[in-house]
Amino acid sequence: MGRLRLGVNIDHVATVRNARGEGYPDPVRAAEMALAAGADGITAHLREDRRHISDFDIDALADICRRRGRPLNFECAVTAEMEAIALAHRPHAACLVPERREEVTTEGGLDVVRGQNTIAPVVRRLVDAGIRVSLFVDADEAQMVAAKAVGAQVVELHTGAYCTAVRERKPQAEVLLNNLRIAAAKAYELGLEVHAGHGIDYETVKPVAAIPELTELNIGHFLIGEAIFIGLGPAIQRMRALMDEARATKAA
């Protein structure tokens, strides 16, 4: 089991900035701090409505990631506009996510099974441009098979349902964690790289990080919230330490 990478999602620094329409807090400064604190890469979601990250932020984030030799994981919807922006920047990775209700599966991932015809040509053009394409999907074996069929190199498993169940002390949390394990094994068997993200906090990170097929976690909202209390650098370092502990325990 190799080292698990941590991608830090800085979208919600932009949410706070946009709440006042001022220029601060600056998500680019947060990205610089995250990299300095041990993040392996930066994740940012340019939403169609630009509710947090702006086009200008993406330009600046692409620039600092390039200068620091760190990957930018550009999250976007499957639209012509977002495809054009991805192709203009050629980030290390593009993670295709659902934004419209009809693209969403039960748990909230991209419905690749139903959307294959729309998703496949976009994946092909991004892959041809040298971008690593990831699909944000539910822990469902049919979605893994469809992700492989459309030519994605990576799947990011949606951990939101599991993390919510843990926080709400719901009995189905174990089943949801097991679904993540089964989906990760299936994706790996198909030759896909396997990432995970959404809703992860200090409590849920260890069971998720212990899934051996995972190579990357993308974590944002909890870290930005925690940064209010202990600072962004320490919050990231603590998360990183928990990830490493989970892997060390599993290997022991």
Identified catalytic residue from 12, 45, 52, 158:
45
DSSP 180-200: HHHHHHHHHHTT-EEEEESS-
Known active-site residue 45:
yes
With respect to ligand PXP, which residue has the nearer C-beta, 179 or 204? 204
Helices 141-149 and 112-128, packing angle to 10 deg: 40
Q: In Å, what is the CA distance from 163 to each residue of 78, 143, 153, 202, 231?
A: 25, 20, 25, 10, 23
Q: Does 10 bind ligand PXP (CB under 6 A)?
A: no
Q: How far is the CB of 7 from ligand PXP (least distance, A)?
A: 8
Q: Does 27 bind ligand PXP (CB under 6 A)?
A: no
Known active-site residue 198:
yes
Q: Does 143 bind ligand PXP (CB under 6 A)?
A: no
Q: ω into residue 25 within 30 of 0, thus cis?
A: yes
Q: Which helix (H) or strand (E) holds 224?
A: helix 221-230
Q: Does 98 bind ligand PXP (CB under 6 A)?
A: no
Known active-site residue 89:
no
Chain positions 43 to 72 lying near ligand PXP, rule: CB under 6 A, are 45
Q: Does 11 bind ligand PXP (CB under 6 A)?
A: yes
Q: In Å, what is the CA distance from 216 to each residue of 36, 134, 161, 229?
A: 18, 12, 18, 26
For ligand PXP (CB under 6 A), the number of binding residues is: 17
Identified catalytic residue from 12, 52, 195, 198:
198
Beta strands in 80-188 (DSSP E): 93-96, 132-137, 154-158
Q: Does 131 bind ligand PXP (CB under 6 A)?
A: no
Q: Which helix (H) or strand (E) holds 216?
A: strand 214-219
Binding characters for ligand PXP, 171-210, by CB under 6 A (x = yes):
--------------------------xxxx----------
CA pseudo-torsion sign 188, 143, 81, 73: negative
**What's the CA gap between 49 and 6, in Å, rounded?**
27
SS3 assignment, position 107: coil
Q: Does 9 bind ligand PXP (CB under 6 A)?
A: yes
Q: How far is the CB of 251 from ligand PXP (least distance, A)?
A: 25
* Piece in contact with ligand PXP (CB under 6 A), picked from 15-23, 85-93, 171-179, 214-222: 214-222
Q: Does 147 bind ligand PXP (CB under 6 A)?
A: no
Residues annotated catalytic, as ranges: 45, 75, 198
Which residues form the interface with ligand PXP (CB under 6 A)?
Answer: 9, 11, 45, 75, 95, 97, 136, 156, 197-200, 218-222
